[in-house]
Amino acid sequence: MDVITSYVFVDGAQVVVVVIIVVLIVVRIVVVVILVRAIVVIVVAVVVVVPIVVVVVVVVVVVPIVVVVEIVVVVVPIVVVVVAVVVVVVVVVVVVVVVAAVIVVVVVVVVVVVVVVVVVAWQSAEVIVVEVVVVVVVVVVVVVVVVVVVVVVEIVVVIIVIILVLALVVVAAAAAAAVVVVVVVVVVVVVVVVVVVVVVVVIVVVVKVVIEKGGGAAMSINCHYAIYQMSVE
């Protein structure tokens, strides 16, 4: 009995040891599998999820910021420069047109008035003062109308340019437009003053010539009439 009992105990101890070993092996396998799966999950997360998150963040956050920065840094200066150039070109064109129109007006006035003076000077004693005065008045009216139209057009264009500049809030273009507008106004004023002076001087000369011609004609007619009376008597 002692031998059998001791054998049973020994065999039972071996069974317990075997069971423990098996349990440890199972636990180890389970732990290893769990660890492997955890590692796989982590690797998948790092390899797949992280790039997706990075892409989403870049698309949602970084790209708009970059676009805004590009617009502010690149597009806005380009727009400002383009608008400034357009405004300056428009104002320069206006200046050229106004100055050319005023110069044409001055030339026309001078030519017409000179022609009137020459015609009056070379006319015979039968020139009528009223006709010359009418011609001069017509010339003056035409000059005044043309100058007024030019000035009005220039003022309207300047106002439009200023409104555009203020609407676009372009400081450089506004400054350039203001300078050019001042130049245009000064030129127009000077030219108008010159035209007025020329017209006044020419009118005075023409009236003087007409009066002298009329007086000479009257004196000549009186002399001829006196001679005729003397011969008749």
pLDDT in tens, 109-165: 766 666 666 666 565 444 555 555 566 666 667 766 776 676 666 667 666 666 666
Alpha carbons 52 and 46: distance in angstroms, whole number:
10
Q: Is residue 30 part of a domain?
A: no
Q: Is residue 168 part of a domain?
A: yes
Instruction: Look up the pTM and report it.
Output: 0.44
- In which residue are the tokens 């010339």 written? 139
Look at the chain and count its residues: 233
Asked if residue 58 is part of any domain, the answer here is no
- Backbone angle region of 128, left / alpha / beta, with phi > 0 → left and psi within -120 to 50 → alpha: beta
Structure tokens at 85: 């150039």
Domain that holds residue 202: 68-232
The number of domains in the chain is: 1
Q: What share of the chain is helix, strand, coil (3-state, %, to 5)?
A: 95, 0, 5
Q: Identify the three-state secondary structure at position 79.
A: helix
| 23 occurs within a structural domain | no
Domain membership of residue 87 (yes or no) is: yes
* pLDDT tens-place string over residues 46-81: 666 666 666 666 666 666 666 666 666 666 667 767
| Other C-beta atoms lying within 10 Å of the C-beta of residue 72 | 10
Q: Which of 110, 138, 130, 137 is nearest to 210 (CA)?
A: 130
Structure-block tokens of residue 75: 């597009």
Q: Is 123 left (phi over 0), alpha (psi -120 to 50) or beta?
A: beta
